[in-house]
Structure formats: C-alpha cells, structure tokens
Amino acid sequence: MEVSSESGPPTHGRCIVKRRMEAVERSLRMSGCELGLLSRPDGSANFLQGATSVLAGVYGPAEIKVSKEMHDKATVEVMVRPKVGLPAIQEKSQEQLIRETCESVINGTLHPRTSITIVLQIINDDGSLLSCCLNAACMALIDAGIPMRGLFCAVTCALPVEDLLIVDPNLKEQKESRAVLTIAMESMEKKVLTVSSRGTYSAEEFQQCVGAAWVSASDIFQFYKDSVKRKFSKS
C-alpha cells in the first residue's frame, strides 16, 4: 500500500545511539528459524532476525532450460522477491551477490546439467536484510539436501558514530549509520566469502567489522546446528 508520507527528521537518533553504547551494545537480535515449512519446494526455511523475516525456498537439482544448462556443473539461480511491488534493480544486485555466495559453497559438479533455484521472499524488513537473506538461503539449501562443501552465514554491521559498532542493526539504526557492511563467512576455515558495504569507513573499522562478524559467525553456525539437531531429534 502506498503511504506517501515520509517520516520527519530523525529526532530519536541520538538517544538510540547512547542506549546502544550502554546496554545492548553488540548483540545479535533474537533470531528464529523454521525448516521445511513449505510443501512445494525441495527445501525451505523461514529465517528471522529480530523483526526481519525472509522466507527461502530451494528447488533442485531440477530440470533446466537448454540455454542455461552447464555440462559440468549445476546452474544456480537466485530470485529475490520484495515485500511490495515487483523486483527491481536493487533486487537484481542482491540476487547476484547471493548467487555468487551460494555458488562458492555448493558442490555443483555432483549435479551437472541441472538447476538449483533459490527463491527468497522478503516478508518483513527491519534492517540487516541482506544478511537475513543469505542466512535463509543457507538454511534452505541445508533443508533441500543440496551437496555443499560447507556452510555460510552473514552478519551486518553498522557504524553510526565514531567508536561504535552495532552488530545486526535494525532498520532505524541502519538508516542513521554512516556505513553499513554485510560480511558473509564460510564455515570450513572461517574465511570471508562476501563483503557488501555502503558508506565510508576506515581500514581499521573494516577490520573491526570483520572481527565482529567472525565472532558472531560461530554463534550463528551453532544456531544452524541446533536447529538441524532439533529437526532430527524425533527419530
């Protein structure tokens, strides 16, 4: 629905930053995950980070158009569907980023001449959307049983003012920040897979963000493992 009003100047920005510094500085928001909730796709996951929610579905390995076929590996396709409206340029660039991240862990040579399609439906955006998309994609790939060399997870860091780093920011914090970085890490050697950023930051701040992502990544991987264990606990 169109809401033509833009909210006024950010009046609460200052106090939010202060609150962050004192108490809840550098915490991952509540996250949740539901696996295999859709019946149509081969694998699906709903990933939540705070109020940000992304629903991911994976089809594959499946039949593919001849024009897209690769005879030595599987073709990975990613579709990002926005909450409102049709996918535009922003979604296209996200698709590419997510596709390249997924391709680096998917063991596509085991399924040549097939397609692996990842569909991401944004359900709600409250900051750290890209990292939530990546996490949802990874969980859905796990659920679909796509062969993978390892896992990946993503962490968004926001740099609002000097000497402050917010991990997993919400939409408001993200808007008020001078720089936002999303860093994807893989699980095998805990190396950086993908970095996407906007705004200006120093090399030192970049290293800080990588460090923060590195620390958070182990928590997220543990969360992955716990949710899969829970799913398998019935048998």
Partner 1 sequence: MRETPLSNCERAFLLQGIKLVVKLNRLLERCLRNSKCIDTESLCVQAGEKVWQIRVDLHLLNHEGNIIDAASIAAIAALCHFRRPDVSVQGDEVTVYPLEERDPVPLNIHHMPICVSFAFFQQGTYLLVDPSEREERVMDGLLVIAMNKHREICTIQSSGGIMLLKEQVLRCSKIAGVKVAEITELIQKALENDRNVRKQGGKFGFAESLPDKKITVLKMEKILVDTKDVREKAEEVISKSEPPSDVVAKPVVWAAGTAQIGEGSANAWGELEESEEEDDDDDDDEDVETVQLPETTKKSSKDVIMLSDSEEEEVIILQPEEQSKASLPAAVSKGSSSKKSKSRKK
Partner 2 sequence: MDDTDSDDAVGEVVLPGDVLVLSSKAEDSLPSTSRARVVCGPGLTPHGDNLLVIKCGVVKRRDPATYWVDSQQKRRNTRCRAAEHKITAGILPGPTGTRRWRSTEGDRRTTTLELENDAGLCAMVKGDHVIGIVIGQFEDIFKVDVGGSDQASLSFLAFEGATKKNRPNVKVSLLLNLVAMILTPQNDIVQELMNLFPFEMVVGMNGRIWVKAQTMQQTLIVASLLEACEYLTAAQRKETFAKFSDSM
Dist. CA 81–CA 109, nearest whole Å: 28
Shortest Cβ distance from residue 231 to partner 2 (Å)?
7
Among 13, 17, 21, 31, binds partner 1 (CB under 8 A): 31
Q: Which stretch binds partner 1 (CB under 8 A): 89-97, 114-122, 128-136, 188-196?
A: 114-122
DSSP element (H, E) containing 180: strand 179-186
Shortest Cβ distance from residue 181 to partner 2 (Å)?
23
Among 16, 17, 34, 175, binds partner 1 (CB under 8 A): 34
Applying CB under 8 A, does 114 fall inside the site for partner 2?
yes
Dist. CA 187–CA 218, nearest whole Å: 8
Q: Cβ contacts of residue 94 below 8 Å, gap of 6+?
A: 80, 130, 133
Handedness of CA 136, 139, 143, 144 (dihedral sign): positive
Interface pattern 59-78 for partner 1 (x via CB under 8 A): x---x---x-xx-x------
The two structure tokens encoding residue 45: 């996951």
Indicate the DSSP class of residue 25. T
Q: Which stretch binds partner 1 (CB under 8 A): 93-101, 129-137, 171-179, 211-219?
A: 211-219
Q: Cβ contacts of residue 29 below 8 Å, gap of 6+?
A: 49, 50, 128, 168, 170
Which residues inside 120-159 make contact with partner 1, applying CB under 8 A?
Answer: 121, 123-124
Among 13, 147, 161, 219, binds partner 2 (CB under 8 A): 147
Q: Which stretch binds partner 2 (CB under 8 A): 25-33, 56-64, 87-95, 168-176?
A: 56-64
Cβ–Cβ under 8 Å, residues 101 and 193: yes
Applying CB under 8 A, does 70 fall inside the site for partner 2?
no
Which residues inside 184-203 make contact with partner 2, applying CB under 8 A?
Answer: 186-188
Among 2, 86, 89, 229, binds partner 2 (CB under 8 A): 229
Alpha-carbon distances of 58 from 11, 37, 40, 62, 123, rounded to whole Å: 42, 12, 9, 10, 16
Cβ–Cβ under 8 Å, residues 192 and 162: no
Residues that bind partner 2 (CB under 8 A): 36, 39, 42-43, 61-64, 105, 107, 109-114, 142-151, 186-188, 221, 224-225, 228-229, 231-232, 235
